Amino acid sequence: CLFLLFFEISGVDEHYTPIRTFQVCNVMEYSQNNWLRTNWIPRQSAQKIYVELKFTLRDCNSIPLVLGTCKETFNLLYLETDDDQGSHFREHQFSKIDTIAADESFTQMDLGDRILKLNTEVREVGPMTKKGFYLAFQDVGACVALVSVRVYFKKCPYTVRNLASFPDTVPIDSQSLVEVKGSCVNHSKEEEPPRMYCSTEGEWLVPIGKCLCNPGYEERSNTCQMCRAGFYKSTLGNTECSKCPPHSFSHHEGSLHCGCEKNYFRAEGDPASMACTHPPSAPRNVISSINETSVILDWSWPEDTGGRRDITFTVVCKRCRVVAANGSNGGTQRCEPCRSSVRFLPRATGLQNTTVTVGDLLAHTNYTFEIEAQNGVSSLAPKMRQYAAVTITTNQAAPSPVTVIRKEKTSRNSVSLSWVEPERPNGIILDYEIKYYEKQETSYTILRARGCNVTLNGLKPNTAYLLQIRARTAAGYGASSPSFQFETSPDSAFSISSESSQVVLIAISSAVAIILLTVLLYVLIGRSVHHSLDSVLFLSVIFTSHTNPFLPFFIFCRSCKWSIHALRLPGVRTYVDPHTYEDPSQAVHEFAKELEASCIAIDKVVGAGEFGEVCSGRLKLPSKKEICVAIKTLKGGYTDKQRRDFLAEASIMGQFDHPNIIRLEGVVTRSKPVMIVTEYMENGSLDSFLRKHDAQFTGIQLVGMLRGIASGMKYLSDMGYVHRDLAARNILVNSNLVCKVSDFGLSRVLEDDPEAAYTTRGGKIPIRWTAPEAIAYRKFTSASDAWSYGIVLWEVMSYGERPYWEMSNQDVIKAVDEGYRLPPPMDCPATLYQLMLDCWQKERNNRPKFEQIVSILDKLIRNPGSLKITANTTPRPTNLLLDRSSSEAPSVGTMGDWMDGMRTLPCKEAFSGVSYSSCDTLAKTSTEDLKKVGVTIVGPQKKIVSSLKALDSHTKNGPVPV
């Protein structure tokens, strides 16, 4: 400071803090002009300067004798300069800022106490333009002490708002706000330009706009800081960094994304916040249900969806064959994509539901379907993709309808037609059925043709006919073609009679056929003349009526090398021997449905078969009702052959569809245990069932059961299947007493049957049930099955008696060979016994066909009265068995004869030494009595007891007939 008559004095302020002051107090003298000037103060960025003064001022009234000279104000002045002028001082250069008066003044007493009363005054100066300035204080006669002078200016200080930094800002004038643009802090970006206003008071006002932290950075204390390891931030914004989602990591700071762990992936479009995922596991529980040439595939969702919800399914169809490897037994599977004509419903890829129907497959063909569950990352991990495969074999399917029929030639009485083979024959077309009728009539004619043309003869002239054609394959008939209409030509006087032309035609064709066959006969006889008598050629030409000019013929040559062809009844399917298949497992899949083990619930064991246990259980197929089933299992440790033999039964059974043949539900071959699942027959096998219910059924009930068995056997023989082991133990009975033929197989059946015994020619045969020619030279035919049926008939009528009781197999063979036959069971209707005897005809061609047996039994059922006439139960005198050669109807002899006969029974002289006093005593004889005398075999026991009763009634009711 520049002191110009101001004095620096020490004192204390009101708080007794020592202070130094500049004082002047020349109040007694006139014309005072005392100055105090500051040093040069640089202006810096200040526009406007504030000066705060703290001072004390003495009250003039408190000073005596100063009136007129004492003042109570002083002046504040300033001078702007660009440089420090040192001690150079010019009074007139200063400009007055204000006259400062005191708000408070102090008295003498105050002074005596040395307490200063401070006044504070603030004045503003500016705007300033020069680099610096001086302040000056002018005293004109006051008693004033300047305690402090504070010089300052106002500014808005540096600040960071909304991630934008705003510099120190000095307001320009007192009127307006200063708009200041902010700059984004490091690692941030402007979202909207940041701005703020700096007020004249040095306050920041109205922040506008903001900055956002870059990806990988988050806002921390007004700065953008890198995300820590294990965290990420993928977007611009002032959110915090997020923790890495499951199965991902970030090892470095400032991560925008987290990387996926091994075997985890992120699909394009997956947000960074989503966990890393992997392809799903394979679909589960694939079930196929085959319907001819289409298959419905059903499956369950994969166990592991890979952590995603965008699961879809894709089904790939392949045709696979096992190709034999050169020189080795095994083979390799070769697959090729299915034809493009295979249809998928709704589609093959992108399936949202867990089912698809595949249609238009080829019949009898192996297909493999690979079902894959896919999700958004499947394409990123081809090696991790899994699928479930199911192999199916399509069934036989009936051919599609004939659609194109052409009329080739028309005359008065005939028309020639041709047609085009069905688009999908689904097998070899065996023949066509042509059904036609007059348009106005309802009765129709049916013809069959092997080729794709036919001539219909014997038609009425000038008549409209309608015709339909359907093709037949081993799978049966296909649907009929749409009706095709044609008209014959009008009558004409000059036309040759069609009847006579037919005759001529037939005559000519017959002649040609006979010539051809004669030549053939000649050649064949010539070739096989050295063969045995067996090699006789049977030739049968059957001419049908001229309206049906097809000539079915049968040629048999027993010992010729060429095969035997027989035209079976049209419309009936033919049994296919599964052993003719190179790969027997193909046969089983051709004829048996593969079941998922998960659809089967086993309840309990009901018996034991040769290959394993027989159980009862339940089968629940998708969208089908649960049914009771029998389950035959193949026990572990089986050989390949055992497996083949076990499944052969299913391959055979699967070809049958008849109410009296046990129905195959399917097989389980793809998991263990291997199973054959059939319908459940509540009453088990017929022999034990009958034994359990001895004498409890009416004749009609028994005949009903027998009729069922015969009907099943008719079906089998029509199919060309020979059972070879027809016996009551192989018939099953359900809760409605319906009998069904079971136990199918070839050699296996006999190997399996405990009744089967080895013959001298080798091979096992159930002697008691088998026809003599089958025992002698293994001639098994439907006629030998008819013999067995006779034995079953006997078993049924005797409620499960063992045929030939305890006789040895050798004795049975001998007795039967000598013409002896089983006697009628007790109370057996005569007609049924006659039927048995017919079945046991030595000459097999004389035995009734199953069709005839069915019709005989049907007649009996319609006329139950006929069952009342029972066959005579008295055994023949010479043997337990009846001698068929001596008489047809057995009769009761005299008491003496009868006793003689009894003594020759194979009961070791049972009656020798036994005396009977009367017929009464005889009639009361019980089986217990017989046991006592050594008749231990149940059959003869019953027979003897019933005979005694019959004899008793004869003697009581009249003379014993001779």
- Interface residues with ligand ACK (CB under 6 A) are 606-607, 609, 614, 630, 662, 678, 680-681, 684-685, 688, 732
882 contacts: CB under 8 Å, gap ≥ 6? 820, 821, 822, 823, 875, 876, 890
3-class SS of residue 633: strand
C-alpha dist (Å) from residue 493 to 108, 421, 504, 556:
174, 38, 19, 47
Residue (433 or 743) nearer to ligand ACK, CB: 743
C-alpha dist (Å) from residue 734 to 498, 682, 686, 687:
58, 5, 10, 13
Alpha-carbon gap, residue 270 to 248, rounded angstroms: 13
Residue (509 or 735) nearer to ligand ACK, CB: 735
Residue (393 or 678) nearer to ligand ACK, CB: 678
Nearest approach in angstroms of CB 652 to ligand ACK is 15
Q: Which residue is nearest to ligand ACK (CB)?
A: 607
Token match 């051809």: residue? 516
Is 613 annotated in a binding site? The answer is: yes
Residue (680 or 787) nearer to ligand ACK, CB: 680
Largest interatomic CA distance in the chain = 196
Is 104 annotated in a binding site? The answer is: no
Alpha-carbon gap, residue 530 to 379, rounded angstroms: 74
Nearest approach in angstroms of CB 561 to ligand ACK is 41
Alpha-carbon gap, residue 743 to 729, rounded angstroms: 9
Read off φ and ψ for residue 436, nearest 5 degrees.
Answer: -140, 155
Is 295 annotated in a binding site? The answer is: no
Structure-token pair, residue 884: 């068929």
Nearest approach in angstroms of CB 454 to ligand ACK is 45
Is 632 annotated in a binding site? The answer is: yes
Secondary structure of the chain: what % helix, strand, coil (to 5)?
25, 30, 45
3-class SS of residue 323: strand
Is 830 annotated in a binding site? The answer is: no
C-alpha dist (Å) from residue 75 to 3, 90, 122, 143, 950:
15, 16, 13, 13, 168
The three-state (H, E, C) secondary structure of 726-788, written as one string: CCHHHEEECCCCCEEECCCCCHHHHHHCCCCEECCCCCEECHHHCCHHHHHHCCCCHHHHHHH
Is 607 annotated in a binding site? The answer is: yes
Residue 562 burial (CB count, 10 A): 8
Is 614 annotated in a binding site? The answer is: yes
Structure-token pair, residue 55: 């001072």
Residue (53 or 661) nearer to ligand ACK, CB: 661
Q: Are 700 and 686 in contact (CB under 8 A)?
A: no
Residue (76 or 662) nearer to ligand ACK, CB: 662
Residue 901: closest CA among 923, 881, 917 = 881
Residue 796: closest CA among 754, 844, 839, 767 = 839
Structure-token pair, residue 704: 């009903």
Of the candidates 139, 718, 725, 743, the residue annotated as catalytic is 725
Nearest approach in angstroms of CB 614 to ligand ACK is 4
Alpha-carbon gap, residue 605 to 616, rounded angstroms: 6
Nearest approach in angstroms of CB 669 to ligand ACK is 19
Residue (638 or 916) nearer to ligand ACK, CB: 638
Any idea what DSSP says for residue 655? T
The three-state (H, E, C) secondary structure of 40-65, written as one string: CEECCCCCCEEEEEEEEEECHHHCCC
3-class SS of residue 426: coil
Residue (128 or 652) nearer to ligand ACK, CB: 652
Is 672 annotated in a binding site? The answer is: no
Nearest approach in angstroms of CB 593 to ligand ACK is 16
Alpha-carbon gap, residue 46 to 152, rounded angstroms: 8
Helices (H), 564-669: 584-591, 640-653
Structure-token pair, residue 576: 């296919």
Nearest approach in angstroms of CB 684 to ligand ACK is 3
Residue (506 or 602) nearer to ligand ACK, CB: 602
Residue (397 or 631) nearer to ligand ACK, CB: 631
Residue 583 bears catalytic tag: no
Report whether the peptide linkage leading into residue 552 is cis, meaning its omega lies within 30 degrees of zero: no
Residue 908: closest CA among 940, 950, 883 = 940
Nearest approach in angstroms of CB 713 to ligand ACK is 18
Alpha-carbon gap, residue 426 to 361, rounded angstroms: 9
Read out DSSP for 115-135? ----EEEEEEE----SSEEEE
Is 611 annotated in a binding site? The answer is: yes
Any idea what DSSP says for residue 802? P
Nearest approach in angstroms of CB 631 to ligand ACK is 9
Residue (461 or 609) nearer to ligand ACK, CB: 609
Between helix 850-862 and helix 699-719 the angle, nearest 10°, is 160
Nearest approach in angstroms of CB 587 to ligand ACK is 21
Nearest approach in angstroms of CB 635 to ligand ACK is 14
Active site residues: 725
Q: Which residues are annotated as a binding site for ATP?
A: 606-614, 632
Q: Which residues are annotated as a binding site?
A: 606-614, 632
